[in-house]
Amino acid sequence: MTMLVTVVFVIACLVLVASILLQSGKSAGLSGSIGGGAEQIWGKNKAHGMEAMFDKVTKAAAIVFIAGAMLLVIMQ
């Protein structure tokens, strides 16, 4: 059981790193986070297509990563 959770955890780690690296930047540095960050957070300029897919994959991989880390600690 520990081996299965470890394998899923490693796969989630790799998917999380890859999906974060493949995403494009959302703002133009500090000025973008102060001036236009709220519009992007609340979804007015929500991107479609590949960026939306990477966003969903990143969220799912992060959930699996956190759950896997907690399971591995509990099983230890």
Token pair, residue 10, equals 């490693």
Compute φ and ψ for 20, nearest 5 degrees.
Answer: -70, -40
Residue 31 exposure: Cα atoms within 13 Å on the Cβ side: 1
Residue 44 in this model has a pLDDT that exceeds 60: no
| pTM (whole model) above 0.75 | no
Query: How far is the C-alpha of 25 from the C-alpha of 16, rounded, in Å?
Result: 16
How far the first Cα of the chain sits from its last, in Å, is 11
Domain boundaries defined on the chain: 1-19+48-76
Token pair, residue 15, equals 């998917």
pLDDT digits (tens, 9 = 90+) for 56-67: 999 999 999 999
In contact, 68 and 9? CB cutoff 8 Å: yes
Question: If you average pLDDT over every residue of the chain, what do you get?
Answer: 80
**In the chain, what percentage of residues exceed pLDDT 90?**
47
